[in-house]
Amino acid sequence: MLTLYDNPFSPFARKVRMVLRFKGLEFESIDALALDEHDRLVAVNPRVEVPVLVDGGFTVTDSTDIVYYLEDRFPTPTVLPVEPELRAKARRWQRIADTLLDAIIHDISIWTWPTHQRPDEPPEGLLDAGRDDLRNVLIQLEDSLGDRGFVCGDLSIADFALFPHISALKPLGILLEESTHPRLLRWNREMRSQALVRQDLDYVKQSAFEKFVSGQSPYEDDKIVWRGDRIEWLLAHGFHDWLLVELEAGRAVVPRSV
């Protein structure tokens, strides 16, 4: 049995869940970011990040490494196109989703996501910079889609990596319009028509509802995890002074290196 150290809301965990279901694989899911599962997560990943896949006695961390492990271990159905050009394209869009899109959405959602309750205001210009960069990525994705139903023709890792981020745009103030994003809207409808995507959306909504009913927020407001591309995007836009204040105040957490 495969065990996935998971979280309902992590876009990286969502990507892996959809790949597992696409391949028809049974797995045990553990909400590893729950407080009572913290020690178990540390034992399999000292960086305390999800997802983590355990296959018997073998452990794989990092969502992309997990996807490629699953592709090698269970090659059919494949999440990578056969043609070299399309395979490179799928990997490129997965990388954009996992790095740039995640960084921007993470960094601006701290103040725009409905469930976040930060008492402070964002640094001047941060939200505008994030939304501008998101719009630029959407223009590229709109052009890249062409007349295909999915990003690379058939359903692939590109779609599974992008969907969790694209589905988070509306609460951030980014709307897809028929006049400017007809292909993206068509792609979004096509994705939501997939049973495995609907299953994932239902899981996210149900998990959020359960936390709200219990009086919990699904997100932490007082300690935010900053790493890699999330920090790079901040620095590239000149918000280093703000990040330093957050670090000194103990509101920013940087995963340990392993």
151-165 residue pLDDT tens: 999 999 999 999 999
**d(C-alpha 81, C-alpha 155), whole Å:** 9
Assigned domain for 148 exists: yes
Residues 249, 151 within the same domain? no
**Residue range 4-23, pLDDT digits in tens:** 999 999 999 999 999 999 99
In the block, residue with structure tokens 């028809």: 24
Q: Kindly report each contact of residues 196-199 with a partner whose C-beta sits within 8 Å and lies 24 or more positions away, as own/partner.
A: 196/18, 196/21, 196/22, 197/18, 197/163, 199/21
- The number of domains in the chain is 3
Task: Give me the CATH number covering residue 122.
Answer: 1.20.1050.10
Q: Is the pTM of this model over 0.85?
A: yes
Domain of 241 in residue numbering reads as: 224-253
Q: Give the amino acid at 45.
A: N
Residues 37 and 99 in one domain: no
96 shares a domain with 30: no
Tell me, yes or no, whether 193 lies in a domain.
yes
